[in-house]
Chains A and B, each alone.
Chain A
Amino acid sequence: MNIALRPDAPEQPLPLSRLAIADCDIHPRLPGFKTLYPWLSKRWQEHLEVFGMAHRQPFEKGPAYPKAQPLACRRDAWPPGGTPGSDLGFMATQHLDANNVALGILNPLTPSGEGAQNPALSAAVTHATNEWQVEHWTAKDSRLRASIVVPYEDGPAAAAEIRARAGDPNFAQVLLLTRTAEPLGQRRYWPIYEAAQEAGLPVGIHAFGYGGAPITVGGWPSYYIEEMVGHAQCCQAVLTSLVLEGVFERFPKLKVVLIEAGIAWAPALSWRLDKHFLRLRQELPDLKRLPSEYIRDHVWWTTQPIEEPEPRRHLGEVFDWMGWDRVLFATDYPHWDFDDPAHALPMRMSEAQKRAIFLENARAVYGIAG
């Protein structure tokens, strides 16, 4: 699936009867900072050329843990002369057309400006990245919707960027990363939720980022596999923080989509939160309902990278626990651990369950009609 064994083979056209899908996690890639210059002041252009853009991790270039392969991308996703995710035409042929994607949510990652060490640079680059998403992507392909990237460590600045995009149909959600300077339930991030709720936009929280804390509570691990597995624990900590800090009590219309951080842990975390909340609730007088009830009403999960229990039916049993309406299909195109819609959920599902996961849930959460 990952390495093109027959690079000369033509793309297999799919039958037209194939289910149209929503892909809730597609990664467009900025070819380079110069692409953003039309929307960056001279000051920030020069800054990027001289100092670059540092994050809370050691390396000037590349991630803290070397990926499994170049840019963590499928070997077959490199367009001629470019990097994966940088070419709309190539992406349309290889993925959007081939997999009958009717709605694609764009989540730009590095370098989007999110989580940059310098907060003013973060604000400038995220703003420019949003402009780029419209001009180079959503304006050119009506299947795609952008995510508003924001300088999330500066709540008021992030809120201003969200308000500037409110009502713009090019954008489907606000995008945060899980690994922030402090857990995302904390007050410094509340202006983001306030603005998102006001704009009627879900907040998508994607795995990754560098907040400064080790990815395990016991310190920095050694390997990329540990970082990858660890994104699930980070996301569990994020959801725990959102619930226990009372974010859903404070922002009753807020919708949160948890992206690329696992899904099968959802029921277990709800049970655990309920159990310990009931014992320690004296500490949390602002919570009026059980943690599991807030989660049931406010939170959705994307599927990729989907857990693969043996037997596979266990996954359906997990969806029974969490609610089939909470599950949003995603591929993570063009990354190496891409989930193919034809093969990623090999278990028995009713037609209604399939339609919900592959399309209707996404249309409902993002408020995008067919």
Chain B
Amino acid sequence: MPQDTPVDCDLHPSVPGLAALLPYLDPLWREAVERRGLDEPVSIGYPSRAPLTVRPDWRDEKGRPASDVARFTREALDPFGTGIAICNCLYGVQLLFGEDMAAAMARAVNTWMAREWLDRDPRLRASIVVPVQNAEMAAAEIEHWAADKRFVQVLLLVSGDAPLGKRQHWPIYAAAERHGLPLGIHAGSSYRHPSTPVGWGTTLTEDYVNQAQAFQSALTSLVAEGVFSRFPALGVVLMESGVSWLPAFLWRLTKFWKGLRSEVPWVSEPPTELVRSRVRLTLQPFDGPPDTAGVMRLMDHIGSDEMLLFSTDYPHWQFDGSDAVPAGLDAGLLRKMQIENPRRTYPRLEETVP
């Protein structure tokens, strides 16, 4: 395998329902789920029937995406020649208000992922879902799974209670760095605040477009609070973030850093350089210009061929057929995106992939 096969850095196996997690829930919470009649914690960010949520040809007769390994690998890995797939389970753990329930659910999701996915196909890797509601509990969840090298990253949503750079989150980053796990920041919100920075929007389209704004703010926070200098070995991967906003954002952030760096003296490197060396972005949804020349110009503005990581974002409907990469990319860049960049980003792949 896989020295020479693509690494898909963002795919979503689906929890078919709470019932599937019951065997992995602590008995106290298993009993509570049943007694209280818990609803499925599905985010408003991905309504089950919305076109974006599952590509039409990736829906079964009931409209659901793959929730078993055989179908998942047949639909999401084989058509792309994927040798390694990093699974990010988007289940509503981060959205729950109770810390204890979130911790129990995170443990159940991770156990389900290990038993029902990672154990069943050697190509699969996963991100550790953590109860971000409480940083100490989240760090404990990282410690619990750290020895299992098939977990290659820690998963957070881009929008939660407080901006991601803030110190209250740092125990999570310390644990991630200690175990060689990059921080995977995925689109999505726990909806503690309005869905746009100027108030609640009205449509799913608006919410989804605004994910790019959320990533810009989160990156500002990580830079301004000094996360990159405090955790020098921590990598950050932005997933399902879009990519075309990056150049203009970095130009602005770096300009204001020049004018205002006395406010954040611990940020000693220009943000553009910090971000280029420490942050990676997954490819889909690719939101660049429609023409090949425009795409190449955008790549020139991004200014590095090491930042993008191949992804399909399965089962989200971002492209049709097997056109997961924009047309016209040169072979060298493609190879970097699909193979070299992911392998550098995720140190644990080197330990587990021959």
Q: Return 14 A-B CB contacts under 8 Å, by A number.
A: A68-B260, A216-B193, A216-B197, A218-B221, A219-B163, A224-B263, A225-B260, A230-B220, A233-B216, A238-B198, A262-B248, A269-B209, A280-B203, A307-B252
Residues of A within 8 A of B (CB): 68, 178-184, 186, 211-226, 228-230, 232-234, 236-238, 240-241, 244-245, 262, 264-265, 267-269, 271-277, 279-280, 282-284, 305, 307-310, 314, 317-318, 321, 336-337
Which A residues are in CB contact (< 8 Å) with B242?
Answer: 272
Q: Which residues in window 81-102 of B have CB below 8 A to A?
A: none
- Please name the residue on chain A nearest to B262 by beta carbon: A68
Query: In the complex, what distance in Å separates the CA atom of A211 from the CA atom of B247?
Result: 28
Name the contact of A213 in the complex, choosing from B158, B197, B214, B220 (C-beta under 8 A).
B197
Check A223 against B193 for contact (C-beta < 8 Å).
no
For the complex with contacts A216-B193, A307-B255, 20 further pairs of A-B residues with Cβ separation under 8 Å are A183-B206, A214-B193, A215-B197, A215-B217, A216-B218, A216-B221, A217-B193, A218-B158, A218-B162, A228-B260, A232-B249, A234-B197, A264-B252, A265-B245, A272-B244, A272-B287, A279-B51, A279-B317, A305-B256, A336-B259
Name the contact of B251 in the complex, choosing from A180, A223, A279, A308 (C-beta under 8 A).
A308
- Please name the residue on chain A nearest to B272 by beta carbon: A310
Which B residues are in CB contact (< 8 Å) with A240?
Answer: 196, 201, 206, 209-210
Residues of B within 8 A of A (CB): 50-52, 158-166, 189, 192-206, 208-210, 212-214, 216-218, 220-221, 224-225, 242, 244-245, 247-249, 251-257, 259-260, 262-264, 272, 285, 287-290, 294, 297, 300-301, 317
Which B residues are in CB contact (< 8 Å) with A268?
Answer: 212, 244-245, 247-248, 287-288
Tell me whether A275 and B287 are in contact in the complex, defined as CB-CB below 8 angstroms, given that A229-B252, A236-B213, A280-B52 are known contacts: yes
Name the contact of A321 in the complex, choosing from B50, B158, B165, B289 (C-beta under 8 A).
B289
Query: In the complex, what distance in Å separates the CA atom of A149 from the CA atom of B247?
Result: 34
Check B160 against A280 for contact (C-beta < 8 Å).
no
Check A182 against B259 for contact (C-beta < 8 Å).
no
Tell me whether A225 and B196 are in contact in the complex, defined as CB-CB below 8 angstroms, given that A268-B248, A271-B287 are known contacts: no
Which A residues are in CB contact (< 8 Å) with B224?
Answer: 221-223, 225-226
Which one of A222, A233, A275, A321 has the highest number of Cβ atoms from chain B below 10 Å of its Cβ? A233
Tell me whether A213 and B194 are in contact in the complex, defined as CB-CB below 8 angstroms, given that A68-B260, A271-B290, A272-B209 are known contacts: yes
Check B247 against A264 for contact (C-beta < 8 Å).
yes
The 4 A-B residue pairs whose C-beta atoms are closest, nearest first, are A216-B217, A264-B248, A307-B251, A268-B244
Check A217 against B220 for contact (C-beta < 8 Å).
no
Name the contact of A280 in the complex, choosing from B195, B204, B252 (C-beta under 8 A).
B204
Check B198 against A211 for contact (C-beta < 8 Å).
yes
Check A180 against B252 for contact (C-beta < 8 Å).
no
Query: In the complex, what distance in Å separates the CA atom of A268 from the CA atom of B301?
Result: 12
Check A183 against B287 for contact (C-beta < 8 Å).
no
Query: In the complex, what distance in Å separates the CA atom of A329 from the CA atom of B330?
Result: 38
Query: In the complex, what distance in Å separates the CA atom of A242 from the CA atom of B301?
Result: 28
Which B residues are in CB contact (< 8 Å) with A211?
Answer: 198-199
Which A residues are in CB contact (< 8 Å) with B203?
Answer: 244, 280, 283-284
Which B residues are in CB contact (< 8 Å) with A216?
Answer: 159, 163, 193, 197, 214, 217-218, 220-221
Name the contact of A317 in the complex, choosing from B163, B204, B297 (C-beta under 8 A).
B297
Check B217 against A233 for contact (C-beta < 8 Å).
yes
Query: In the complex, what distance in Å separates the CA atom of A233 from the CA atom of B219?
Result: 12
Check A225 against B205 for contact (C-beta < 8 Å).
no
Which B residues are in CB contact (< 8 Å) with A182?
Answer: 198-200
Check B263 against A244 for contact (C-beta < 8 Å).
no
Check B197 against A223 for contact (C-beta < 8 Å).
no
Tell me whether A309 and B247 are in contact in the complex, defined as CB-CB below 8 angstroms, given that A211-B199, A216-B197 are known contacts: yes
Check B264 against A218 for contact (C-beta < 8 Å).
no
Which one of A212, A238, A240, A264 has the highest number of Cβ atoms from chain B below 10 Å of its Cβ? A240
B229 to chain A, nearest CB (A): 15
Which B residues are in CB contact (< 8 Å) with A305?
Answer: 252, 255-256
Which B residues are in CB contact (< 8 Å) with A282?
Answer: 51
Tell me whether A229 and B210 are in contact in the complex, defined as CB-CB below 8 angstroms, given that A213-B194, A217-B197, A264-B247 are known contacts: no
Query: In the complex, what distance in Å separates the CA atom of A186 from the CA atom of B317?
Result: 28
Check B204 against A283 for contact (C-beta < 8 Å).
yes
Check A217 against B245 for contact (C-beta < 8 Å).
no
Which one of B212, B248, B297 has the highest number of Cβ atoms from chain A below 10 Å of its Cβ? B248
- Please name the residue on chain A nearest to B210 by beta carbon: A237
Name the contact of A237 in the complex, choosing from B163, B164, B205, B213 (C-beta under 8 A).
B213
Query: In the complex, what distance in Å separates the CA atom of A180 from the CA atom of B198?
Result: 6
Which B residues are in CB contact (< 8 Å) with A279?
Answer: 51-52, 317
Which A residues are in CB contact (< 8 Å) with B247?
Answer: 264, 268, 309, 314
Which B residues are in CB contact (< 8 Å) with A321?
Answer: 289, 294
Check B301 against A314 for contact (C-beta < 8 Å).
yes
- Please name the residue on chain A nearest to B214 by beta carbon: A217
A245 to chain B, nearest CB (A): 7
Check B198 against A237 for contact (C-beta < 8 Å).
yes
Check A233 against B248 for contact (C-beta < 8 Å).
no
A199 to chain B, nearest CB (A): 25
B274 to chain A, nearest CB (A): 14
Query: In the complex, what distance in Å separates the CA atom of A179 from the CA atom of B51?
Result: 31
Query: In the complex, what distance in Å separates the CA atom of A168 from the CA atom of B204?
Result: 41
Check B251 against A264 for contact (C-beta < 8 Å).
yes
